Amino acid sequence: MNVALRRKLFISISIAVVFLATVYGFLPKAVDVDLASVTRGPLQVTIEEEGRTRLKDRFVITAPTAGYLVRVKAKVGDAVKKGQSVIVLEPLRSSVLDSRSRAEATAAVNAAQAGLNAAIERESAAAADADYMEKRLERLKNLYAKGSIAKDQFDQIEAETKKARAIQRSSIAAVDVSRSELERAKALLPNYASTNKSIGDNKVYVSTPITGNIFRIYKENEGAVNVGEPLMEIGNSKNLEIRVEVLSSDAVKIKKGTAMFLKRWGGEATLEGVVRVVEPSGFTKISSLGVEEQRVLIIADITSPAEMWRSLGDGYRLEAHFVVWEGENILQVPTSSLFRVGKEDWTVFVEENGKARQRLVKMGQRNGLAAEITAGIAEKEKVIAHPDDSVKDGTKIKPRK
């Protein structure tokens, strides 16, 4: 074979290889996809919202009267029994006097002392007059008995004696009044700097109305408190309820007695519960994205044994799942495999002989993971779990490894 022939043969082979490589490059390749089987099994449709625990019965202990609070020795979390004294109030302390108020108080004490001295002197004078009139009446009584004086004169002396006795009794009462005025003036003179402790045991003891735990202490240090001021909050940690705010469009699907389960509360087990109240009025709330939402408050009880959730307390966060529909032996596919065709139809890609085939289906109930299929597909068929834009009807596919 000459050189020219070998050259032509080499060029022809090279052209053929390039052509075949180009044709092969333009041939459609199989798309890697995730396949999921169509299965039958139980299916639940739930509404999921964040919830909070809350005490069913919350007791706020307030000050029954204005007084001086003794420092609270109890701590948050301490157990208390019904009737146990938890708050002690002493009488209010006297206020601190400035120089002017102290001078006025001192002057008032001196005036009261002088008034008392004057009342004592008047009482002494009235006593002396009463003694004199008593003695004179005795003398004139003997003379009147002998007929030495007229009856009119005797009656006059008797009346003056009674008057003197009355003046004496009035003077004694005036002394008592002056003495009381002096004691009152002296009571205004001491202040907190000189008298900072209560005299006697004039204390008020406030007891707890239930057996439970202390959840909050509003004021722990000693100091003056007003009547009705909250001091402590007490409740029973075993008597909790769940408070969940749901969208009003979801609330219409939830009824009294609806089953629910609680997740992500901190424990390993999933707790069960039941709806007790769906409040009839809603309220407006702004979401974290700034969207105005209409929500409804739902109150539920925990039905799981208390030993499972005894570590829960008031105001703890959890996830509430309300079961609004459930069924057994339901034909279902992953929700991610469904997509819209038109306005109302749903479709999936089914794997047939290594190719994707688009198929219309009828969808029933669904949750975030699975959807019920009522028509259009059979059990054990395989669908593409996450179809993207590269998958069309007739596209070659292969399972992703």
Cα separation values, 187 from 60, 98, 105, 183, Å: 36, 16, 9, 6
194-214: pLDDT as tens digits: 444 544 567 899 999 999 999
Q: What is the pLDDT of residue 98?
A: 75
How crowded is residue 165: how many other Cβ atoms within 10 Å of its Cβ?
Answer: 16
Burial class (CB in 10 A: 0-12, 13-18, 19+), 108: middle
Q: Identify whether residues 269 and 366 lie together within a single domain.
A: yes
Q: Identify whether residues 104 and 47 lie together within a single domain.
A: no
Tell me, yes or no, whether 5 lies in a domain: no
Tell me, yes or no, whether 4 lies in a domain: no
Tell me, yes or no, whether 367 lies in a domain: yes
| Residue 27, pLDDT above cutoff 80 | no
Among residues 213, 235, 257, the one where a domain terminates is 235
Q: Identify whether residues 121 and 201 lie together within a single domain.
A: no
Tell me, yes or no, whether 156 lies in a domain: yes
301-350: pLDDT as tens digits: 999 998 899 889 889 999 999 999 999 999 999 999 999 888 888 999 99
Mapping DSSP to helix (H, G, I), strand (E, B) and coil, where does residue 381 land?
Answer: coil
Q: Identify whether residues 389 and 322 lie together within a single domain.
A: yes
Number of domains in the chain: 3
Determine which of 24-38, 62-76, 264-278, 288-302 has the lowest per-residue pLDDT on average: 24-38
How crowded is residue 333: how many other Cβ atoms within 10 Å of its Cβ?
Answer: 25
Asked if 79 and 238 count as a contact pair (C-beta separation under 8 A), the reply is no
Q: Identify whether residues 241 and 162 lie together within a single domain.
A: no
**Alpha-carbon gap, residue 272 to 297, rounded angstroms:** 19
Q: Identify whether residues 39 and 160 lie together within a single domain.
A: no
| Residue 24, pLDDT above cutoff 60 | no
pLDDT, averaged across the chain = 86
Please choose, from the candidates 401, 387, 382, 397, the residue with its C-alpha nearest in 3D space to the C-alpha of residue 35: 382
**Alpha-carbon gap, residue 61 to 65, rounded angstroms:** 12
Q: Identify whether residues 122 and 245 lie together within a single domain.
A: no
Residues of the chain above pLDDT 90, percent: 47
140-186: pLDDT as tens digits: 877 777 777 778 787 788 888 888 888 888 888 888 888 888 888 88
Asked if 82 and 208 count as a contact pair (C-beta separation under 8 A), the reply is yes
Q: Identify whether residues 48 and 86 lie together within a single domain.
A: no
Q: What is the pLDDT of residue 19?
A: 67
Q: Identify whether residues 175 and 226 lie together within a single domain.
A: no
Q: What is the CATH number of the domain that holds 343?
A: 2.40.30.170
Residue 151 CA, distance from chain mean position: 90
Q: What is the pLDDT of residue 258?
A: 95
| Residue 131, pLDDT above cutoff 60 | yes
Mean pLDDT in residue range 277-287: 93
Q: How close are the terminal C-alpha atoms of the chain, in Å? A: 51
Q: What is the pLDDT of residue 198?
A: 47
Q: Identify whether residues 207 and 180 lie together within a single domain.
A: no
Burial class (CB in 10 A: 0-12, 13-18, 19+), 268: exposed
Please say whether the dihedral angle defined by the alpha carbons of residues 163, 166, 172 and 178, taken in this order, is positive or negative. Answer: negative
Q: Identify whether residues 51 and 62 lie together within a single domain.
A: no
Q: Which amino acid is it at 352?
A: E
Q: What is the pLDDT of residue 193?
A: 47
Q: What is the CATH number of the domain that holds 206?
A: 2.40.50.100
Asked if 34 and 386 count as a contact pair (C-beta separation under 8 A), the reply is yes
| H or E stretch at 339 | strand 339-341
Q: Identify whether residues 154 and 205 lie together within a single domain.
A: no
Please choose, from the candidates 112, 107, 86, 84, the residue with its C-alpha nearest in 3D space to the C-alpha of residue 97: 107
Residues of the chain above pLDDT 70, percent: 92
Tell me, yes or no, whether 383 lies in a domain: yes
**Alpha-carbon gap, residue 16 to 195, rounded angstroms:** 116
| Residue 32 lies in domain | 28-57+236-401
b or e along 280-291 (b: 16 or more beta carbons within 10 Å of the residue's beta carbon)?
Answer: eebeeeeeeeee
Cα separation values, 116 from 8, 120, 121, 166, 181, Å: 148, 6, 9, 19, 8
pLDDT confidence of 1, banded at 50, 70, 90? low
Tell me, yes or no, whether 53 lies in a domain: yes
The two tokens of residue 116 are 């008392």
b or e along 248-257 (b: 16 or more beta carbons within 10 Å of the residue's beta carbon)?
Answer: eebbeebeee
Entry pTM: 0.64
Q: What is the pLDDT of residue 194?
A: 45
Tell me, yes or no, whether 308 lies in a domain: yes
pLDDT confidence of 28, banded at 50, 70, 90? low
Mean pLDDT in residue range 268-274: 93
Asked if 205 and 131 count as a contact pair (C-beta separation under 8 A), the reply is no
Tell me, yes or no, whether 8 lies in a domain: no
